[in-house]
Structure 1
Amino acid sequence: MIALVTPALVVLGPLALLLVMAIVFAETGLLVGFFLPGDSLLFITGALVASHVIHLPLGLVALAVVVAAAAGDQVGYLIGHRWGPRVFARPDSRLFRQEHVAVAEEFFLKHGPVAVISARFVPVVRTFTPVVAGVAMMPRRRFTTYNIIGALAWGIGIVVTGFFFGGIPFVAHHIELIAIGLALLSLAPASIAFLRRRRPDPMLATSEVGHVV
């Protein structure tokens, strides 16, 4: 996905910011954005600002990303708060998997309200954590506070990192390959969590064997 988006960002120039904001919002606000390249997209955006492909001030770009990220999480929270049971009862499809929701639930239960912040840096989990928070009836004011903190840390942190690394000639000349590598790397935490959930419990397997014997 990032390999397709990067050329579009280059062609659009300053208007690329609107595309970036739309993708960032959709990743958490539409519940179907788990496949979108959030982390790598922000890094590439920062790098393109540094190389003057996107002719916009770094501060404006970072602020726009923060606003889109916070708005997306708020919409996800409202969906979970009002229609959570219906969402969780949906059958699996190409754009929605119950196992992704289960991973987000496990993440939220493990980390508590702070998960709203830390989930920002975990692909797939960040898509569904706001919904889980809404279903769990997390107070809206508390959620909004954590949401804004997470959006600031994620949006500014990754865009600025991309900006400074984008000034390195090697990065500038291999931007698409680096984008693909970042996308694969960003999927690692969610993949590990998914594999752990799929692995059978040894204690459960032992008890089943004992029961059969």
Structure 2
Amino acid sequence: MEKQFSWKDLLNPMFYIVYGGFFLLLFIVFAETGLFVGFFLPGDSLLFVAGIYSTNLADDLFRKFGMTGIRPEWLDLLVLIALISIAGILGNTIGYWTGRKIGPTMFHWRDRFLFKKKYLYDAHEFYEKHGGGAIIFARFLPIVRTFAPIVAGIVEMDKKKFSFYNMIGSIAWVFSMIIAGHFLQKWIFTQFDFDLKKHLEVIVLGIVIVTTAPVLVKLFFGKKKVSQPPTN
């Protein structure tokens, strides 16, 4: 029986892996880090689950190019990490140029379902506090990672400096999540005979809670103040 689509599936990383495969995963990473409407898409949990299913994703990818046979484990991980990192780099680059071109006017847009000015203010405050390193740190923070490159473009961060932090941040984010998912699955299964694949809902929920905790704390317990659009 064919599964009926539900809007909540958009928040479920397994939905993209099962029904879209590796190339949809690439697009989701690109969209979440480069398109301001992609802030609601799963990022950390998607990459962690992708690490758990890295062999399956690699098999699907190599099969599409007519490459079959036994491959070393490191090759699967290297290819996945490299391609996903490139998608993240390109996404942030689009976000940066969006900020350069239309960013300042975004602070005068009305709030909509898929756009809140508060997200831009939060990302700007985060950027001002951490400087260039914010581009790296933001990769590990939902919502903030979507708007950080846009804010970097708005304040006209040096292109070379942005590109450097962008590459480091994307590789660090993708590498840590993919490797964590892949090897944690193997270690836990070997040591405790516990298959993470059968408990993905709990794992994804845990990742979401951990990664969104800083954002939620800032949202509900941060000092309330009136924000003004940043000036160059």
Structure 2 CA distance for partners of 1:157 and 1:98, relative to 1, 3 Å: same
Aligned equivalent of 2:102: 83
Aligned equivalent of 1:72: 91
Aligned equivalent of 2:212: 187
Q: How does 1:160-171 map to 2 (within 5 A)?
A: 160-167=179-186, 168-169=188-189, 170=194, 171=196
Aligned equivalent of 2:17: 9
Structure 2 CA distance for partners of 1:3 and 1:174, relative to 1, 3 Å: farther
Q: How does 1:46-61 map to 2 (within 5 A)?
A: 46-50=51-55, 52=56, 55=59, 57-61=76-80
Deviates more, 1:3-12 or 1:190-199: 3-12
User: How far apart in 1 are the matches of 2:112 and 2:78?
Assistant: 38
% identity of equivalent residues: 38
TM-score, normalised to structure 1's length?
0.85
Residue ranges of structure 1 left out of the alignment (5+ in a row): 202-213
Aligned equivalent of 1:159: 178
Aligned equivalent of 1:208: none
Secondary structure in 1 matching 2:26: helix
Task: Confirm or deny that 1:26 pairs with 2:31.
Answer: yes
RMSD of aligned C-alpha atoms? 2.0
- How far apart are residue 159 of structure 1 and its match? 0.8
For 1:67, the aligned partner's letter is I
Higher relative helix content: 1
User: How far apart in 1 are the matches of 2:121 and 2:225?
Assistant: 16
Aligned equivalent of 2:230: none
For 1:146, the aligned partner's letter is Y
**Contact map agreement 1:119 1:126 (CA 8 A) in 2:** yes
Residue of structure 2 aligned with 1:38, choices 40, 43, 65: 43
Aligned equivalent of 2:123: 104
- How far apart are residue 199 of structure 1 and its match? 4.3
User: How far apart in 2 are the matches of 1:197 and 1:43?
Assistant: 29
User: How far apart in 2 are the matches of 1:5 and 1:114?
Assistant: 28
User: How far apart in 2 are the matches of 1:53 and 1:83?
Assistant: 37
Moved over 6 A (4+): none
**Contact map agreement 1:103 1:194 (CA 8 A) in 2:** no
**Contact map agreement 1:6 1:176 (CA 8 A) in 2:** no
Q: Deviations along 1:60-104, whole A, 9 cap, x unmatched?
A: 111111001000000000000111112222111110001111110
For 1:44, the aligned partner's letter is V
User: How far apart in 1 are the matches of 2:103 and 2:19?
Assistant: 39
For 1:4, the aligned partner's letter is N
**Contact map agreement 1:116 1:146 (CA 8 A) in 2:** yes
User: How far apart in 1 are the matches of 2:185 and 2:26?
Assistant: 20
Aligned equivalent of 2:5: none
For 1:134, the aligned partner's letter is G
